[in-house]
Amino acid sequence: MGEQWMFYFDPNRCIGCDACSIACKQRHDRDATADDWRTVSHLKRGEYPDFEDVPISMSCMHCHDAPCEEVCPPDAILKRDEDGIVTVDRDRCIGCHYCAWACPYGAPTYGDDGLMSKCNMCLGEGPGGGHGQPPKQKAEDGGAKPSCVDNCVGEAIKAGPQSEVMDEASEAAARRFENGAYGSRVIVEPIAEDAEAAEAIRSGEDDRADAWLNG
């Protein structure tokens, strides 16, 4: 069994430019209007000038416990042993949307054909492109760096085997991860802002972003 690959996100370095989201769509040759596999949402709070707008880049986190895999009736979703990447076999997918209900991050998307597609960490290209691919290789070993990582203007997104991502994370982020923040599904740097602002954001109204920031 290979080591679990994970995403890392540093909100302090995310400038909300959407390059990750656009690069993802281009790498996977998806239409401009198709739902995004990687989204940048903005958690907004407060009145001018006490206003906050925190950009948060999200995608499938390839969760260690993959709730989507658990609920998939035709077993189309696979949490791979070799690299932990969660892939979908679109020949088996029946478009029931159970995975969308189970996913904490809103990652599954559905095209005109009704079938699910989502991030495959650029294991392959295109919808379903990760299915059946050989184990994920690091860029230095000839693998494709996930497009969002490769094109992040602020170097806010990283991906790799868990131990390597942990090495690159700050001590605070690594400690939080080990303590179970974000369900230990993704490593996130703490927001470097004053406590009051952070608290205000934590009690924000955007559910998805709120879930992110609360861990």
Partner 1 sequence: MSSQGEYGGLTRRTMLKASGVAAGAAAVGGCLSMFDQEDPPVASIQDAEIAYGNCWMCCHDCSQKAYVNDGTVVDITGVDGNPRGSAGPGTEGTLCPKGLNQLDKTHDPDRIKQPYIREDGELREASWEEAFEYTAERLEAFDEEHGAETFLDAGSWAETPIFRHIWRDLYGTPERIGRGVHVCAGPTFVAGGMMGVGSNNRMPDYQNSEYLIMWGRNPFSSFAGQFEPKGILEAVEKNGATLVTIDPQHTQTVQKSDTWLPIKPRTDGALALAMGQVIIEEELYDEEFVEEWTYGFDAYREAVDGKTPEWAAEITGLDPDDIREVAIGFAEAAPQAGISIWTGTAQVGNGWKAAQNITALNGLVGNVDRPGGLRMWQSASPADPFEVQGIDLPNNAEGKEPALRKYEEYEEYPVRHVETIAHNLVPEMVENGHINGIYCHHDMPLKDGNAQGWLEAIEEMELVIAVDAYWNGITRNADVVFADATQLEKDTIGYGSWNSYSQHTWITGGKAAVEPQYDTKPDFDILVGIAEAMGWGEYFPWEDHEAFIDDQLSAFDLSLEELSSGDRNYELIDEYPYEQWKDGDGPAFRFDLDQVPPFVAAAEETGMDTAPEWVPPGTYGDELSEEYPLEFYDTRAVYFSHGSDQALDRLTEKYAERHDLEDREYRGNYLVINPRDAEPRGIETGEMVTVESETGAGELMAYVSERTQPGFVTTVYGYGEGSLRPDDEGMNSMKVHDTQMDPITGQPDRHVAVDVHGGDG
List of residues contacting partner 1 (CB under 8 A) = 12-13, 15-19, 21-23, 25-33, 42, 44, 46-49, 51-55, 90, 112-113, 125-129, 144, 147, 150-155
**Which strand (E) or helix (H) includes residue 196?**
helix 195-202
Give 70 or 113: the residue with its C-beta nearer to partner 1. 113
C-beta of 13: minimal distance to partner 1 in Å?
6
Beta bridge partners of 88: 77
C-beta of 16: minimal distance to partner 1 in Å?
5
Cβ proximity of 105 and 28 under 8 Å: no
Nearest to 20 by CA among 53, 54, 55, 45: 55
C-beta of 94: minimal distance to partner 1 in Å?
15
Give 16 or 190: the residue with its C-beta nearer to partner 1. 16
C-beta of 7: minimal distance to partner 1 in Å?
16
* Tokens describing residue 77: 């979703």
Give 4 or 147: the residue with its C-beta nearer to partner 1. 147
Please state whether beta strands 52-58 and 39-45 pair in parallel, antiparallel, or not at all (unpaired): antiparallel
C-beta of 195: minimal distance to partner 1 in Å?
15
Nearest to 86 by CA among 131, 138, 148, 48: 131
The dihedral through the CA atoms of 18, 20, 26, 29 has a sign that is negative
Give 16 or 104: the residue with its C-beta nearer to partner 1. 16
Give 154 or 204: the residue with its C-beta nearer to partner 1. 154
